[in-house]
Amino acid sequence: MHINTQLDEDSYKKLEYLIKETHANVSDVIKQAIDHYFEKTNKSKITTANERLLSSNFVGCGEAEATLSELLNNH
C-alpha cells in the first residue's frame, strides 16, 4: 500500500530525527510507529481479568499472619 501525506514542520523534524537515530528508512519508521500505536490502543481490548491486571502495572500489598503461606499449603 502506498500512502501520501503532508507533515507539519514539527512532525517532519521528529521523523528526520527517528530516521537518523535508528538508521531506518521512512517506511520502517512509520511501520514501527503504527505497531507501537496499535499496541498502545489495543490494550483497551483485553478481555480476561488476568490480562487486565497484568497490563495495568498494578502494585498491591496486604497484611496477614506470618504463617499464611504455610496455612494455604496445608489445604
Tens of each residue's pLDDT in the chain, 75 residues: 889 999 999 999 999 999 999 999 999 999 999 999 988 887 666 667 777 777 777 777 778 777 877 766 776
> For residue 26, is it within any domain?
yes
- pLDDT value of residue 54: 78
DSSP-based three-state secondary structure for 6: coil
> For residue 44, is it within any domain?
yes
- pLDDT value of residue 31: 96
Structural domain for 18, as ranges: 9-73
* Alpha-carbon span 71 to 62, nearest angstrom: 16
> For residue 2, is it within any domain?
no
Q: Find, among 21, 30, 44, the residue nearest to 1 by Cα.
A: 30
> For residue 40, is it within any domain?
yes
> For residue 43, is it within any domain?
yes
* Alpha-carbon span 18 to 75, nearest angstrom: 56
Number of domains the chain is built from: 1
Spatial neighbors of 18 by CB under 8 A, at least 6 apart, are 24, 29
> For residue 57, is it within any domain?
yes
- pLDDT value of residue 17: 97
> For residue 3, is it within any domain?
no
pTM, two decimals, is 0.55
